[in-house]
Amino acid sequence: MPPDGFLDYIELPGPDIPATKVFYGATFGWKFTDFGPDYVAFECAGRRGGFNAARKVVSQGGPLVVLYATDLDALEAKVRAAGADILSRETFTGGRRFHFRDPNGNEIAVWTKA
């Protein structure tokens, strides 16, 4: 049993469930379980979450989900090829990252170690 406060699940806005599944499945290899037309759960490397069509996207200042990449440039190319807009890139002590907007409008970041 996980301890109190364990980050167990993340739920993101997903007004376009079909586009969400195509984007995250093709780009990151996520697996999905449908729970009706307005909700899909995902799993990736033991992490779980979902996309909920009833939740609203916050255009700025909401929580930021950060994914990891072993090859940041290659993953950025896949994200771009899947049709996502790259919002920013930055280098910081210990690594680099980029931010993109998914098909639902969520801002997501991807980082790698220096």
Residue 40 · residue 21 · CB < 8 Å: yes
Pairing of the two strands 107-113 and 65-68: parallel
CATH superfamily of 10-54+64-113: 2,3-Dihydroxybiphenyl 1,2-Dioxygenase, domain 1 (3.10.180.10)
List the chain domain ranges: 10-54+64-113
| pLDDT given for residue 59 in this prediction | 75
User: Is the confidence at residue 7, as pLDDT, over 90?
Assistant: no
Q: Tell me the per-residue pLDDT of 36-45, one tens digit each, with 9 for 90 and over.
A: 999 999 999 9
Q: Tell me the per-residue pLDDT of 46-70, one tens digit each, with 9 for 90 and over.
A: 999 999 999 998 877 788 999 999 9
Q: What is the mean pLDDT of residues 91-103?
A: 96
User: Is the confidence at residue 106, as pLDDT, over 80?
Assistant: yes
Alpha carbon distance 71, 48 (integer Å): 23
| pLDDT given for residue 31 in this prediction | 96
